[in-house]
Copies of this chain bind each other. A is one copy, B any other.
Amino acid sequence: MKLKQKELSTKQQRIIDYIRHFWLEKGYPPSIRDIVGGCGLSSTSVADYNLKILEKRGYLRRHREVSRGIQLPDRFASGHKLYIPIIGQIAAGEPIPVPDNDAWDSTASADTIEVTRDLIRGREGVYALKVKGSSMMDALINDGDIVLMQNVNTVENGEMAAVWLRAEREATLKKFYAESGKIRLQPANSQMKPIFVEPGNAEIQGRVIAVIRQLA
Contacts and interface: CB of A to CB of B under 8 A. Distances in A.
A79 B207 CA distance: 29
Interface string A72-88: 10111111111100000
Nearest to A25: B82
A177 interface: no
Contacts of A209: 214-216
Count of identical protomers in the assembly: 2
A211 B210 contact: no
A83 B140 contact: no
Contacts of A104: 18, 21, 38-39
A134 B70 CA distance: 41
Given A76-B78, A80-B81, A216 B207 contact: yes
B66 A28 contact: yes
Contact of A160 (B39, B75, B189, B216): B216
Contacts of A78: 23-24, 27, 76-77, 79
Contacts of A76: 77-79
Contacts of A211: 211-213, 215
Interface residues of A, number: 68
A14 B108 CA distance: 12
A140 B131 CA distance: 14
A77 B27 CA distance: 9
A28 B208 contact: no
A8 interface: no
A154 to B, nearest CB: 13
Contact of A114 (B61, B118, B142): B118
A119 interface: yes
Which 6 pairs across A and B sit closest by C-beta, in order of nearness? A27-B71, A67-B67, A211-B213, A114-B116, A38-B104, A140-B140
17 contacts: A18-B106, A21-B83, A26-B63, A27-B71, A27-B74, A29-B68, A74-B77, A76-B77, A76-B79, A79-B81, A114-B118, A115-B116, A137-B191, A140-B142, A142-B189, A210-B214, A210-B215
